[in-house]
Amino acid sequence: MNKGTKLRIHNITAKAALKFGSEVWVLKKREEQHLEATQMKFLRHLLGITKLDKEKNQCIRQKTGAQNIAKERKQYQKKWLQHVQRMDRNRLPKQALQYKPKGQRDIG
């Protein structure tokens, strides 16, 4: 299989799997690093590059034309937030976004 076909498969399947449900994720820096490492592992495999080749991630992304998955996830979240804000007030995602609990929490 050639590089272009492998890259299309990556864009269709792997990226979708990595971003699935990410519109509501709150990630720590370590979790973002795990996402990036997973993407880079796939891209290295796609190009036939090992870690022993000491190729920088930026160079690999340029060769494949891939964008950083953490940045894509943040853009995806912003688009989702804008989408929810445009929804009618009676839609469940809009209600969940605007929900403010009443009262106080119990001690403990």
DSSP annotation of 44 reads H
The b/e string for 9-36 (b: 16+ C-beta within 10 A; e otherwise) is ebeeebbeebbeebbeeeeeeeebeebb
Give the CB-side neighbour count of residue 100, counting CA atoms within 13 A: 1
pTM: predicted TM-score of the whole model, two decimal places: 0.74
Does the structure show a pLDDT above 80 at 108? no
89 three-class SS: coil
pLDDT tens track for 3-59: 888 888 888 888 888 888 888 888 899 999 999 999 999 899 988 999 999 999 999
pLDDT above 80 for 95? yes
With beta carbons less than 8 A apart as the criterion, state whether 43 and 66 touch.
yes
